[in-house]
Each structure stands twice: as C-alpha cells, then as structure tokens.
Structure 1
Amino acid sequence: MPPFSKKEAEKLALEYFGIHATASPLPSYADLNFLLKTKSGKKYVLKIYKPGEEKEQLEAQNEMLLHLEKHLPQLTFPRIIKNKNGENTTLLKSKKNGQRLLRLLTWVEGRMLVNVNPHSPRLLKNLGQSIGHLCNGLRGFDHPAAHRYFEWDTAQAAWTERFFHFIKNKEKRALAEHFYGLSIKNALPKLPALRHSVLHNDANDFNVLVNADPENPAVSGIIDFGDIVHSATVNELAIAIAYAVQRKNDPLTAAAQIVAGTHEIFPLEEQELELLYHLIAARLLISLTSAAINISKNPGNEYLKVSQQPGWDLLEKWKAVPAALAHFTFRQACGFEA
C-alpha cells in the first residue's frame, strides 16, 4: 500500500496549489509521482519526495529548469508550478507520513525514446543534437548542491567494483571486471583534465521524449532532473549513448551517429572522444551493478532481471569493439583528420 493514495494526491493538489484534478500514479524509482488531469485537459505531475530528501537538491533542480527555460528554446522541459504561497517547493507535514517535500510540474507530452521504433540514423543524430543543445544550454549554470558525491555520476563509477559480488552470473561478473580494469581504472583518472559543468545526468531512453511525427520523429523534450551533478561534460553524451544504442545490431555505428549530432551543435574535444568509449562502459557498469544490488534485495522480481538484459548484451558487444576503433570512429564522425 503506497503511503499516499490517489485521493490524497488530489487533496494535496487542491490544498496547496488550488488545482481540481484527477490523480493517477506514475512509475518512479524512489519518490511518488502522480499524473494530475483537470477537467479542462491540463496535465501536471505531482512529485512527493521520500522522507529525508534534501531541499537544497530540489532547489538545484528548480534553478536548472528556470535556467533552461531561458537558455534552451529548442527543447521542452517541465515547468515549475508555484504553490499558493508563491514557493517552488512545498513542505508537507502530516501525522501519517511525517515531513515530506512536494513539487508540482507541468506534464511534458511526447513518446519515450524507448517506445519509438525504429531508431533511424536521422533520429539518432537528432538525439545527439539535442544533447549538444542541452550542453550549450547549461553553460554558465552552477549550483552548490550539484557538487556532490553521487553514485550515478559516471566520473565516480569506481564504487561499482566493491559490489561485483552481487552479479551472480560468472560470465557477467567477468565482463564487469574486464571493463573495470580497462575503462574505469584507466579512463576515470583522466577526467579532471576535461571540461566540466552541471549535467542533467540521466538522458536515458525513458527520459528523452520524441514528438508524434510518424515519418520524421525528432526529440522534443527531456524530463526527470533528479540526478543532476557537476561532472565531466562529455558524460552527458556518454549516458545518452549507453541507453540509446542498446538493442542495436551495430552499436558503434549508432553511437557514431549520436556523436556526429552532438559535435554539430556542441563541438567535442579530442580527449573527450578518446575517453568516450570508456565512459559509455562506465555508465553501463553503474546501471548494471545497481540493478544487481536491487535484484539481491528482491530475488523474486523477474522484471528486474529481464529489464537489465539489453544492458548486458550491449556490454558484451562493446567488449568486441576495440577502444582504438571506437576512438577512430568517433573522430571520423566529427570530421577530424585520421
């Protein structure tokens, strides 16, 4: 039984925001999300955060959204709805659920990239362009709360090794150990020399939205700003690639199409391209190790096991790609001389 029912979500929307709406639950990794629909057709997302959520982190997300609203007209993002007191974040006090923080955001229309088929070369390049626009849009943005230790920061992926024992399949564990030795130990120490900025940090195929055009689909928006962190800027691209090229027969070619799009909007640097192959692997290791830990806590959850298989399949294909070939391919995609 969730701590907040649909009726309670509707009551919160009315009490704090003056909005009469019908609520329905949305899937969420850690917090509670409800889709609110009004009789006039307006849609919102009510976000109820887990106990102990730091207000400073939510304020950082708010500031990033407000910054992008001004500096990135090419894409659509959630917009903040202030409460009756004119606040972006609401403190909710309840005898039943204790103290929690609450936010209301506009609903962003679009199809999740994971549900769009096929991923044409044109769409993959457009995804890269969108990542380039995102990197450009976040230039000059900073917030103290983004400078943090965060396990989903690709630059901090070294923590995964301590938890490889949760990967019960020997072949998969050996694959993780291979990329720890090849990519994490060798590449991550070089990251301080690269450009850094505050990142969205989670442009996966569930958070990237695509318009409804059946002939020429294009990225229309990005959602879920809960993972923002200050890190190497190229990690924004590495994360998008790590998810977008799953289920692809030729992930290197698909990755190069995304790289070409990003470079067109946000020119990539030589050393960023040199490390990109390894950063993609590092992000996959974070995702797959986190999933293995969750599976150990929920051994009967078959969905967790099945949903991670495309990531393992990609990591196996990635191993068959020499890092030097990936580097050459990415440089070629950017038009650099051989």
Structure 2
Amino acid sequence: MSEQHSKPNVSPSQAADLVKKHYNLTPSQTKDLPSYEDQNFHVVTLDGGQYLLKIMNSEDSKDPTLFELQTYAMTFLEENGLPTQTAVKTTTGQGMFLEDLDCGYGRRKYLVRLLTYLPGIPIAKVPFSPQLLYEVGQTAARMDTILKEMKHPQLSVLRRKDFIWDLSNLVLLEKYMHVLDGDPLQEVVKTVLHQYKTFVAPKYAGFRKCLIHGDFNDLNVLVEANDGDGHRISGIIDFVDMHMSYYVHELAITLTYMMLEHAKPVDVGGPILAGWESVIPLNEEEKVCLFWLVLARLSQSLVLARYSVTLHPENEEYLTISCRKGVPILCRFLEMGKEQVEKVWFQSAAQFDSKNGK
C-alpha cells in the first residue's frame, strides 16, 4: 500500500459517531486537529468532558502492540507523577479498537483510541523564560528515568529497527536525499551525515540506553500559567514515536525543537542542559556528540518533511513547520562551529546553576 493512502480521512461527523458507538458519549463539538500522518480530533461532550480521539494511519494500525505499549507507558508515567494522557475504556472495556472505514481508497482497518484531554496550550505559544526551559530539560530527564523502570512483556517491540525518526538510523536519510536535488541544502545535510558517521557513530558504545519519548517538541509539551507571571508544564502528549534509544538522543531532540520558537536559538541550550543534568549528568561521549546529534535531528526534520510533502502536498503547511524554522538554525550552527556552540551551551548551563544555587 502507498504511504500516500495510509493516512485516515475521517470527517468530524464520522469521528463523533465513533465516540457515540464505542464510548457511549455524546459529542457536542468535534474539531479536526493538525496531524503528521494520523488524524486527531478534539472532542467536547454534552456533559462538558473533553477528550482527544486518535485515529492511526492504516499502516501503523497493522501492529496494535506498539500502541498498547504507548498507552501503557502513558499510564505508567501518570501514576509516577508526570502529567500525561490516559486511555478511556470502550463500552466493552478495551483501551483501543480497530475500525473498518472507507477513507476514499477502499475499506481499511484503522486503530482508534480516545484519550483524556490535558489542560494548557503548546509551549510554542508562550515566551520561553530560562526557568521554563530549565523545567523542560528537567522534565524530559525525569520522564526517561521513570520509563527506565517500566516493565512490560512486549517491551522488545519498541526496538524499532528501521524507525526513520530514530537518530541511530540517520544514515537512512540517504535514500531520501533526492528530494534536495538542486538545493544547496543537500550539501549541508551531507556534511552532517559525514560527521555523524565518522565522529558520532564510533562513540555509541559510551551512550547510555533507555526508552525515550522520541518527539519531545514544542507542540507536544503543554503549559499553563503559574502563580507568578510565568508558565509551568501541564502536559506531555503524543507518544507515537516512543522507542528504545539513548538518553542523549532525548536531550538532542528536546534541544532541537525548543530552539525553533526562540529568537536566539543557541541561548536555549544552557537552561535545558542545566535542567537535564540536574537529573541525568552527561558523560563525556554524550557531551561531545550533542552538537552533531542536534544537527542530525534538524537534518531529519528537513529531509523527511520535504519527502512527506511529495506524498501529501495538500498538507504542506503543517508538514514543513519545523523544517522552515530549522533550516536557518542548521546553517547558522554549522557556520558558528561545534566549539563555539558548545561553549555557549555549557558555559550558560554552569552559569544558570550558579545563579540559581543548583
């Protein structure tokens, strides 16, 4: 099946019918939300309840085990004090179900879940104070230390061998590089790939393994106003990219996406690093590879967004959000060089800790 035809295309009224049929809830409002390859709906019910209905693409729906693990992980994190969504049980007691739907290219099975709705707005929509960025780094590290303790008989499923968004699989980008033919950015990405293969890859033996969220970005971290004039984290959403990886990968991903909304992207690194290392101090191999791993994530975002647009040109605006903001950062960081960027990150992290008595 073509990837082009795997994304669900359900109308709000069809989504409302699914909620009525499987959860015995009556929606008063069902709003389609932007999504990369699945379909999400914000559902408000007559009794005032709020939920998120997730309809997975038909390719991923073929392996429900992966989503059972994601649901299990969200519940595990919530039970251990982190603000995550949990799955609502169907009328028959299931955490999810397969629905046979025709989305315009024949009948296919789509995995459907209804999740609790968390308060707050994406962190991308509020000013990034150093204290909030510190909390981002600290929360990401806390999340991974909790996930490290999670036990489940199917955990091996999360060793997703060919998962394209796993930083361990950066070289898989090579088969998509044709989307940059004729674009000077192709040479930029080739430079990152070369540094990854020659400098980063040999150091993997020193990286510490763990289970990571994998997409701790500026749209998947929710915040709400605190008692002062700032904000605090109120939710962590979207565990679709969860996989077995490394602590430093989670940190690199977090750094990358939080830079996208900041006027001075390099300044984001210090507070996030300080927050992260208050929970998980980096070892030497992780520290010296962080710069190239951030550029690796920016490269993934660029190439895979361009490729996705060839499959879903109608969704170009959403698919290229991160890519459009990330390209200037990728080029600027290469221009500054590894040594200068690391100097800013690690010196400002130390100053943040000193200033705040940490």
Paired AA for residue 121 in structure 2: R
2:224 corresponds in structure 1 to 211
1:104 corresponds in structure 2 to 114
The 5 A counterparts of 1:60-71 are: 60-71=69-80
1:77 corresponds in structure 2 to 84
1:187 corresponds in structure 2 to 200
Shift of 1:266: 2.5
After superposition, the Cα gap between the structure-2 partners of 1:319 and 1:248, relative to the gap in structure 1 and judged at 3 Å, is farther
Shift of 1:215: 1.3
2:172 corresponds in structure 1 to 159
1:312 corresponds in structure 2 to 327
Shift of 1:289: 0.6
Shift of 1:237: 1.0
Q: Distance in 2 between matches of 1:212 and 1:249?
A: 21
The 5 A counterparts of 1:80-229 are: 80-94=87-101, 97-116=107-126, 118-141=127-150, 143-149=155-161, 150-168=163-181, 170-213=183-226, 215-229=229-243
Shift of 1:26: 1.4
Shift of 1:300: 7.7
The yes-or-no answer on 1:35 pairing with 2:42 is yes
Paired AA for residue 323 in structure 1: K
After superposition, the Cα gap between the structure-2 partners of 1:305 and 1:98, relative to the gap in structure 1 and judged at 3 Å, is closer
2:295 corresponds in structure 1 to 281
Shift of 1:291: 1.2
The 5 A counterparts of 1:239-254 are: 239-254=253-268
1:5 corresponds in structure 2 to 11
Which stretch of structure 1 is more off in the superposition, 101-110 or 303-312? Answer: 303-312
Which of 311, 322, 335 is residue 337 of structure 2 equivalent to?
A: 322
Shift of 1:179: 1.2
Shift of 1:299: 6.0
1:24 corresponds in structure 2 to 31
Q: Distance in 2 between matches of 1:300 and 1:103?
A: 25
Query: For structure 2, which runs of at least 5 residues remain unmatched after alignment?
Result: 1-6, 352-358
**How many percent identity over aligned positions?**
29
Shift of 1:182: 1.9
Equivalent residues, number: 333
Query: For structure 1, which runs of at least 5 residues remain unmatched after alignment?
Result: none
After superposition, the Cα gap between the structure-2 partners of 1:129 and 1:56, relative to the gap in structure 1 and judged at 3 Å, is same
Contact 2:333 2:341 in 1 (8 A): no
Shift of 1:190: 1.9
After superposition, the Cα gap between the structure-2 partners of 1:34 and 1:201, relative to the gap in structure 1 and judged at 3 Å, is same
After superposition, the Cα gap between the structure-2 partners of 1:247 and 1:32, relative to the gap in structure 1 and judged at 3 Å, is closer
Which stretch of structure 1 is more off in the superposition, 227-236 or 24-33? Answer: 24-33
Contact 1:184 1:278 in 2 (8 A): no
Which of 305, 308, 316 is residue 291 of structure 1 equivalent to?
A: 305
After superposition, the Cα gap between the structure-2 partners of 1:99 and 1:2, relative to the gap in structure 1 and judged at 3 Å, is closer
After superposition, the Cα gap between the structure-2 partners of 1:35 and 1:144, relative to the gap in structure 1 and judged at 3 Å, is same
Contact 1:135 1:266 in 2 (8 A): no
After superposition, the Cα gap between the structure-2 partners of 1:166 and 1:232, relative to the gap in structure 1 and judged at 3 Å, is same
Helix, strand or coil at the partner of 2:37: coil
After superposition, the Cα gap between the structure-2 partners of 1:262 and 1:140, relative to the gap in structure 1 and judged at 3 Å, is same
After superposition, the Cα gap between the structure-2 partners of 1:135 and 1:329, relative to the gap in structure 1 and judged at 3 Å, is farther
Paired AA for residue 191 in structure 1: Y
Which stretch of structure 1 is more off in the superposition, 277-286 or 45-54? Answer: 45-54
Q: Distance in 1 between matches of 2:322 and 2:159?
A: 31
Helix, strand or coil at the partner of 2:35: coil
Contact 2:309 2:315 in 1 (8 A): yes
Contact 1:111 1:212 in 2 (8 A): no
Q: Distance in 1 between matches of 2:280 and 2:186?
A: 36
Paired AA for residue 129 in structure 2: S
Shift of 1:301: 6.7
Paired AA for residue 66 in structure 2: Q
Paired AA for residue 99 in structure 2: L
Deviations along 1:187-239, one digit per CA (max 9) or x if unpaired, are: 13322431111111001111111113471112221100101110112111110
Q: Distance in 1 between matches of 2:257 and 2:281?
A: 22
After superposition, the Cα gap between the structure-2 partners of 1:324 and 1:3, relative to the gap in structure 1 and judged at 3 Å, is closer
Contact 2:8 2:57 in 1 (8 A): no
After superposition, the Cα gap between the structure-2 partners of 1:25 and 1:249, relative to the gap in structure 1 and judged at 3 Å, is closer
Q: Distance in 2 between matches of 1:315 and 1:9?
A: 39
2:355 corresponds in structure 1 to none
Paired AA for residue 70 in structure 1: E
Shift of 1:178: 1.5
The yes-or-no answer on 1:14 pairing with 2:20 is yes
After superposition, the Cα gap between the structure-2 partners of 1:97 and 1:6, relative to the gap in structure 1 and judged at 3 Å, is farther
Which stretch of structure 1 is more off in the superposition, 75-84 or 162-171? Answer: 162-171
Q: Distance in 2 between matches of 1:185 and 1:276?
A: 14
Paired AA for residue 160 in structure 1: L
After superposition, the Cα gap between the structure-2 partners of 1:7 and 1:312, relative to the gap in structure 1 and judged at 3 Å, is same
